[in-house]
Structure 1
Amino acid sequence: MVDRYLIVSLGSIGRRHLKNLRILRPEAEIGVLRLHSSARETDLPEGADIQFFKIDDALRFSPTAAIVASPASTHLTVASSLAKAGIPMLIEKPFSDSCTGLDELIETAKARQLVLMVAYNLRFLPSLGEARRLIKTGAIGRVLGVRAEVGQYLPTWRPTVPYQRTVSAQRAMGGGALLELSHEIDYLYWIFGLPTRVSAVGGHYSDLEIDVEDMVSLCLEYDQSRCLAHIHLDLLQRSTTRSCKFIGTEGTLVWDGIADRLDLFDAASGTWQRIETDLCPDRNTLYVDELRHFLDCVSTGCAPAIGADAAYDVLAIVDAAKASMSGNCSVMVKGYGKY
């Protein structure tokens, strides 16, 4: 029997998933659901076998699995329908635009034993994975502080579309620096777990025609391990940057996500050394590896690398940061199942 897959929405990330899915599953039937598209029924996207304009029609397609690549503000509604129909899914990051309503979705997926994965593809970057391994094995001692930064100029992010029309620029679609650049929050959660509290400042500082925050600085405080992590997010930097410095009792580890490089300072010897890792040949490799992992989980029933509980916790940190910005105060983080 031929496998069937459904891709929800065909923005830039949806088209990327469509192309990669066709490579990984060349014989599969691939349908696309275009809920808010002006395309005609005759405008079948390259790589797709069939398209739908209503979710009920897509459900009757009976997909083996689905990829939800629509705006974050639509994730909960779409994913809930898919979960109730028993369809495993990969949801593009972030999980949703807030934690509200996600508990029921997660419980439905657990009750149906569905694979529910959220697409934080930096977890598939070898240099970042090696940074995590070194930290976990004590290569720089106990980590006391972290400084993560990511920045990219929004108008050049998706050059084929006016930036004002992109998801990133619109609050109603789940845009803004906190949600769109939440990879940094996810990988620090992956390494250190859920922080105790969050404090954040930020807002709309530029002349960009957007109704969301374009720059945020947040601090994650970990009481148990006595660690302070600072994250800077912005949609403003003309020179794209992504990096993280981990400050430990026995050394320092510096990850450069743009150069795909990892350097370690050893306090005992007083020297720096380059840590050799497998290089990522191109950005799309991360998406392919992520999708391959999801498909393998669907086939085997194994738990995905980024499950719903973890993705909820990442979003809980985002929600706490927004509450901190609004109330000008530090906010306790309530992760999944913590009330």
Structure 2
Amino acid sequence: MKFLFIGLGSISTKHIKDLASITNERGIECEITVLRRKKGELSQDLLSYNITQITELDSSVYDAAFITNPTNLHFQIMEQLKGKTKFYFIEKPIFECTDYNWKNLGINDKNAYVACPMRHSKVYKKLKEIVDTNKVFCARLICSSYLPEWRPNIDYRKNYSAIKALGGGVTLDLIHEIDYMAGLFGLPEKVMNIHGKYSDLEIDSDDLSVYIAQYKDKICEVHLDYFGRKYQRKCELYTSKCSYVADFKSETIEVSDGTVLNCQRDDKTNLYREMEYFVNFLTGNISENINTPEHAFEVLKITLGGK
């Protein structure tokens, strides 16, 4: 199978490694091409993957294209890829704004999956079980981390996360929380959002975004920031029976009765469960697309305060 990656940053590097591992295990021949602005030396950990570098698209047709370039360039590259790929793996968020008439791109629930890695985790799946079997009154979601420590050996001020024009900022960068909130509870009836630049980080993108999402029977609070010195990625649920604190870092869920539910990864396939899902999707082994472009666009509208 022939795969095209748009860009070669940290996310696409991870996806290349995961894809190569899965296709190798399944005996699928894997040809990887990377579209870059200019050809360059590959990092040491990618030298064994037989990667072809190109600087412009030609007449080649690919089995799948991975849209892993800056968010503000997603629409542009997908316009260029019409007729050149059978399937799409689109990194989150799908776009940086809601102004695009994206349905003319030819992407749909049958050929395009938008990344939602947290929904493949065992923590999320256990949360979903709890939500589906309990009445939840309230939820609190938090993702707090320190942007300069995200990418070792890279100046955080020069990365897309720090640059608003490239689609950076916590509101879009940390769309995971809004995505899995919608996965757990559906789309809210109303969303209030306050965001902006408040810390002393040397960036022009927003470093704090706070949401209150209103449902018919519950309220959800979401806190996202770039300046927390202690990494936190948690979800608190308050139900009629007890409360739960899910920790995506420790992969555990603490229950108010003292019980601790272990949701840790238990085998190597869990290290790349999202890529395994996508390979199953494009080879026809699963029919359900858990994050369609249409749903991802609705989540984007919520994220940007459009609901």
In structure 2, do the counterparts of structure 1 residues 102 and 237 end up closer, same or farther at CA, with 3 Å as the change threshold? Answer: farther
C-alpha distance in 2 between matches for 1:304 and 1:194: 17
Q: How does 1:170-181 map to 2 (within 5 A)?
A: 170-181=163-174
Contact preservation (8 Å) 1:152, 1:240:
yes
Give the letter for the 2:193 counterpart.
Answer: A
Match status 1:128 vs 2:121: no
2:60 aligned with 1:74, yes or no?
no
2:109 is the alignment partner of 1:116:
no
Letter in 1 for 2:255: L
Deviation of 1:137 after TM superposition, in Å, equals 1.6
Change in Cα spacing, 1:123 to 1:286, as seen in structure 2 (3 Å) is farther
- One-letter code of the match for 1:39? G
Judging changes above 3 Å, is the alpha-carbon distance between structure 1 residues 40 and 149 closer, same or farther for their aligned structure 2 residues? closer
TM-score of the aligned structures, taking structure 2 as reference length: 0.90
CA distance in 2, matches of 1:102, 1:242: 33
Structure 2 CA distance for aligned equivalents of residues 118 and 79 of structure 1? 13
Specify whether residues 37 and 228 from structure 1 end up closer, same or farther in structure 2 by C-alpha distance, changes over 3 A only.
farther
1:275 to 252, 256, 261: 261
Query: Residues 76 and 105 of structure 1 are in contact (CA less than 8 Å); yes or no, is this contact kept in structure 2?
Result: no
| Corresponding position of 1:33 | 35
Q: Is 1:297 aligned with 2:281?
A: yes
The question of 1:311 aligning with 2:296 is answered yes
Structure 1 residue 16 displacement after superposition: 1.0
After superposition, the Cα gap between the structure-2 partners of 1:102 and 1:160, relative to the gap in structure 1 and judged at 3 Å, is farther
Distance between the aligned counterparts of 2:225 and 2:18, measured in 1? 29
**Are 2:262 and 1:264 equivalent residues in the alignment?**
no
Asked whether the 8 Å contact 1:118–1:306 carries over to 2, the reply is: yes
Distance 1:128 1:251, change over 3 A: same
Residue identity over aligned pairs, in percent, reads: 27
Q: Which amino acid aligns with 1:150?
A: C
Query: Which has the higher mean CA deviation after the structures are superposed, 201-210 or 167-176?
Result: 201-210
Aligned partner (choices 242, 245, 249) of residue 254 of structure 1: 245
SS of residue matched to 2:272: helix
1:190 aligns with one of 183, 191, 202: 183
**Structure-to-structure mapping, 1:20-99, within 5 angstroms:** 20-26=18-24, 27-34=29-36, 36-37=37-38, 39=40, 46=47, 47-54=49-56, 56-57=57-58, 60-99=59-98
Deviation at 1:249, TM superposition (A): 2.2
Equivalent residue for 2:137, pick from 130, 144, 160: 144
1:297 Cα deviation after fit: 0.7
Change (3 A) 1:184 1:71: same
Correspondence for 1:327: none
Equivalent position of 1:232 in the other structure: 223
Moved over 4 A (4+): 284-287
C-alpha RMSD over aligned residues: 2.3
- Aligned partners of 2:189 and 2:196: how far apart in 1? 23
How big is each residue's C-alpha offset from its partner over 1:57-99, in whole Å with a ceiling of 9 and x where there is no partner?
2xx2311111111011111111233244352111111111112
Q: Is the 8 A contact 1:115 1:303 kept in 2?
A: no
Distance 1:18 1:275 in 2: 32
Aligned to 2:13: 15
TM-score when normalising by structure 1: 0.82
Unaligned runs of 5+ residues in structure 1 are 266-270, 321-331, 334-339
CA displacement 1:214-265 (0-9 Å, x = unmatched): 011111111x3x2110000000011111001011222212101111111223
Residue 199 (structure 1) aligns with: 192
